[in-house]
């Protein structure tokens, strides 16, 4: 009987990095939408998101796939691309202007975020962050399509709630990775709980059927 050796390289969880990038972007854009800062400062915010949020979420996406977590990889990838599009649109538009084209893209991104959110049911905090990010994109999309300041304010409020949840998730997953045990409740259940508390045999049982090991995707 032949044997196949699969080499697995341990890495740190990329979720705190991606969630902190999300915290930065959604908080900064909420400040512009609520007019806490002048509209022309939106370009400064956009540059900051391009320089900070987009790269770290792209890195988190790559590390998510390398860690054999397609939910983290997909969610962080969609977030990085969407924030990049929002930042570029802000940079190339007059300050405070609404964009119907950006609105359509944000609505589509909101729907796209439902895919990783629905698949992340074994980690409820992570699922909630991704689902609320989808809601944030969708409400902002409606605001961009209508140009209504009420919708922009609503999007900002959702964005601030998302910022708080993303910060909590980042802190919780960071503590969990450092201490190798759950410190803050993260809603782990089923396979998500086994991933942290299960045996080595539990972790490797389905390895042969994962992408990159099996013959076809």
Task: Give the pLDDT confidence of 94-115 residue by residue, as tens digits.
Answer: 998 999 999 999 999 999 999 9
Q: How far apart are CA 188 and CA 1, in angstroms?
A: 38
Q: How far apart are CA 55 and CA 18, in angstroms?
A: 9
Q: If you average pLDDT over residues 4-12, what whole number do you get?
A: 69
The more confidently predicted of residues 146 and 4 is 146
Please report the domains of the chain, with CATH numbers, ordered by start residue.
15-209 (1.25.40.600)
What is the residue-averaged pLDDT of the chain? 87
The sign of the CA dihedral 42, 43, 44, 47 is positive
Task: Give the pLDDT confidence of 148-202 residue by residue, as tens digits.
Answer: 999 999 999 999 999 999 999 999 989 888 887 777 787 665 655 555 655 556 5
Q: How far apart are CA 23 and CA 159, in angstroms?
A: 9
Task: Give the pLDDT confidence of 21-67 residue by residue, as tens digits.
Answer: 999 999 999 999 999 999 999 999 999 999 999 999 999 999 999 88
pTM as predicted: 0.86
Q: What is the pLDDT of residue 129?
A: 96
> SS3 helix, strand, coil % of the chain, rounded to 5?
75, 0, 25
Task: Give the pLDDT confidence of 66-91 residue by residue, as tens digits.
Answer: 888 889 999 999 999 999 999 999 99
Phi and psi torsions of 94, nearest 5°: -60, 145
The more confidently predicted of residues 215 and 78 is 78
């Amino acid at each position: 009987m032949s044997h196949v050796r699969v080499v697995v390289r341990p890495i740190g969880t990329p979720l705190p990095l991606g969630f902190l990038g999300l915290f930065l972007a959604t908080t900064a854009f909420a400040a512009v939408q609520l007019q806490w800062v002048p509209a022309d400062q939106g370009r400064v915010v956009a540059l900051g998101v391009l320089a900070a949020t987009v790269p770290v979420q792209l890195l988190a996406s790559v590390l998510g796939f390398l860690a054999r977590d397609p939910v983290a990889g997909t969610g962080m990838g969609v977030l990085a691309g969407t924030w990049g599009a929002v930042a570029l649109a802000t940079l190339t538009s007059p300050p405070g202007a609404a964009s119907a084209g950006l609105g359509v893209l944000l609505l589509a991104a909101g729907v796209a975020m439902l895919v990783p959110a629905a698949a992340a049911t074994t980690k409820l905090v992570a699922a909630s962050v991704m689902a609320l990010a989808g809601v944030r994109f969708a409400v902002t999309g409606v605001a961009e399509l209508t140009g209504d300041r009420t919708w922009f304010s609503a999007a900002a409020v959702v964005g601030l709630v998302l910022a708080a949840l993303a910060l909590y998730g980042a802190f919780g997953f960071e503590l969990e990775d450092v201490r190798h045990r759950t410190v803050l409740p993260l809603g782990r259940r089923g396979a998500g709980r086994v991933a942290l508390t299960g045996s080595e045999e539990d972790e490797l049982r389905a390895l042969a059927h994962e992408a990159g090991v099996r013959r076809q995707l």
